[in-house]
């Protein structure tokens, strides 16, 4: 086991995109039929173990804005994963689960090993490898739950060879330790990191429909050196990206590249859900579907956002990369992300968006009330406030965004737009996604949105 902390790797330019193929890696255990669903819990929800009733809703929101800016750095800092270069010596069924949010905003409960040990981890569409903190711990962040002890699991298996197929799936993450032992090293733009052994074990999910679903031989990182801005309730990360070692790719044979989630409002006593497989298909009246793009070298989920329509005025995509003649295998200009709270658009486009909203909104503008986010578009809630209809215009179909998904009361009597300008990577954050059932179909390269009440219809 190497004793040095890992050097951050590139979130965008250094991670090589592996072609999406039907890898039959880890079958479901006997008895599973059509998959399952499980709960997603927002860190600020009253159901979250991180919920502090002494904090006001506004205080929780302000903290979420700060985490969102740190999250945006994860996409913007194109830092190199030089540690891998230094250490490496080798050149349709359904599941449904629940998610709760920490720094990545949503958490998911999973049990690992035999006997099973409960773990609460960040569910992250922007991360590849699933990893948790493990014994022995050389360096770990504080967590409330006991550390996972692989020596006590009868189904735990460390990947002992750097030549093993698992160790070759994602050379941007896996490393080779002295003695030909396969490990991993991951780091993020906010300087969080994890370093440890690549291994497999049985993962058990609590199905929201009752009972448990166990999946054998799931590859994950057993972290012995970990650090960063993780909460004491979280034990690690569940990777939901396109990466070859993500849960989505590992379960591909059983879920046919399909998963979906439905995010409830932040202060809801009802948890959100995440679905995998046939139950994740989003269809029917009111569904809006768009091409889900891949971007060479990245493992994130991209859409082609043409712009926003404010009232009857369309704000075009100045500042976005044009996608003329692009294909689903190379393109996209905005990341669809479950971990960022805010929505970030190019600065030039934001200026026009802001002008359009000001022209068509009735109400009294006020300054940012000290959120720390420096919102530019804020209004007095009690000044006969009325907003124009706002529509996200995508390459294939338009999506009407409810006002509450954009204009949020950030302080008593003050409502601000949570669409903000950026000079970095454009991101569609989770506030914009609330009360939409959002389905990812990686086989057909589509993402679908169905407006719904996620507290009832998910």
How far is 30 from 218, CA to CA, in rounded Å?
A: 15
- Decide if 164 contacts 151 (C-beta within 8 A): no
Q: Which residues of 332-346 are buried (b: 16+ CB within 10 A; e: fewer)?
A: bbbbbbbbbbbbbbb
Q: What Rg do the C-alpha atoms of the chain give, in angstroms? A: 21
How far is 337 from 68, CA to CA, in rounded Å?
A: 11
CA angle 369, 72, 11 (to 5 degrees): 170
Active-site position among 93, 124, 170, 190? 124
Name the nearest CA neighbour of 257 among 116, 99, 444: 444
Name the nearest CA neighbour of 433 among 300, 265, 248: 265
Name the nearest CA neighbour of 279 among 343, 327, 209: 209
Compute how many other C-beta atoms are within 10 angstroms of the C-beta atom of residue 210.
Answer: 7
- Residues 385-388: contacts with CB within 8 Å, 24+ apart? 385/361, 385/415, 386/361, 386/362, 387/357, 387/360, 387/361, 388/310, 388/311, 388/356, 388/357, 388/360, 388/361
Q: Which two tokens stand for residue 455?
A: 């507290």
Dihedral, CA atoms, 166, 169, 174, 180, nearest 10 degrees?
A: 50
Three-class SS of residue 232?
coil
Q: Which two tokens stand for residue 180?
A: 């030909």
Q: Which two tokens stand for residue 87?
A: 């250490």
Name the nearest CA neighbour of 111 among 214, 241, 27, 42: 214
- Decide if 352 contacts 84 (C-beta within 8 A): no
124 is catalytic: yes
Active-site position among 190, 195, 304, 337? 337
190 is catalytic: no
What's the half-sphere exposure (Cβ side, CA atoms, 13 Å) at 22?
8
CA angle 389, 337, 133 (to 5 degrees): 150
Active site residues per annotation: 124, 337
């Amino acid at each position: 086991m190497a004793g040095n902390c890992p050097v951050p790797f590139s979130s965008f330019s250094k991670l090589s995109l592996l072609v999406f193929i039907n890898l039959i890696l880890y079958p479901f255990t006997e008895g599973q039929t059509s998959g399952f669903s499980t709960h997603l819990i927002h860190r600020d929800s009253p159901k979250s173990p991180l919920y502090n009733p002494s904090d006001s809703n506004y205080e929780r929101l302000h903290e979420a804005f700060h985490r969102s800016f740190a999250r945006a750095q994860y996409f913007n800092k194109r830092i190199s994963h030089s540690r891998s270069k230094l250490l490496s010596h080798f050149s349709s069924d359904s599941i449904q689960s629940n998610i709760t949010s920490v720094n990545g905003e949503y958490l998911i409960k999973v049990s690992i090993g035999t006997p099973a040990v409960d773990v609460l981890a960040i569910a992250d569409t922007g991360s590849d490898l699933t990893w948790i903190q493990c014994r022995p711990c050389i360096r770990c962040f504080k967590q409330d739950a006991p550390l996972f002890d692989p020596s006590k699991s009868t189904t735990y298996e460390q990947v002992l060879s750097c030549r093993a197929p698992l160790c070759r799936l994602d050379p941007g993450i896996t490393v080779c330790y002295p003695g030909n032992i396969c490990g991993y090293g991951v780091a993020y733009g906010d300087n969080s990191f994890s370093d440890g052994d690549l291994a497999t074990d049985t993962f058990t999910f609590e199905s929201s429909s009752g009972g448990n679903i166990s999946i054998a031989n799931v590859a994950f990182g057993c972290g012995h050196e970990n650090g960063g801005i993780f909460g004491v309730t979280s034990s690690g990360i569940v990777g939901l990206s396109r990466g070859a070692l993500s849960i989505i790719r590992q379960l591909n044979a059983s879920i046919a590249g399909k998963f979906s989630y439905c995010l409830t409002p932040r202060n809801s006593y009802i948890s959100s859900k995440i679905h995998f497989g046939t139950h994740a298909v989003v269809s029917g009246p009111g569904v809006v579907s768009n091409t889900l793009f891949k971007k060479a070298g990245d493992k994130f989920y991209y859409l082609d956002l043409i712009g926003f329509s404010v009232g009857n005025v369309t704000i075009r995509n100045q500042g976005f990369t044009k996608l003329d003649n692009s294909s689903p295998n190379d393109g996209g200009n905005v990341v669809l992300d479950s971990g960022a709270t805010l929505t970030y658009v190019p600065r030039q486009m934001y200026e026009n968006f802001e002008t359009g909203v000001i022209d068509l909104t009735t109400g009294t503008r006020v300054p940012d009330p000290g959120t720390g986010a420096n919102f530019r578009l804020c209004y007095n809630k009690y000044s006969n406030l009325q907003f124009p209809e706002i529509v996200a215009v995508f390459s294939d179909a338009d999506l009407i965004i409810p006002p509450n998904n954009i204009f949020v009361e950030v302080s008593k009597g003050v409502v601000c737009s949570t669409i903000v300008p950026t000079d970095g990577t454009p991101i569609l954050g989770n506030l914009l996604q609330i009360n939409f059932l959002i389905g990812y179909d990686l086989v057909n390269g589509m993402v679908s949105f169905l407006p719904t009440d996620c507290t009832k219809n998910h």
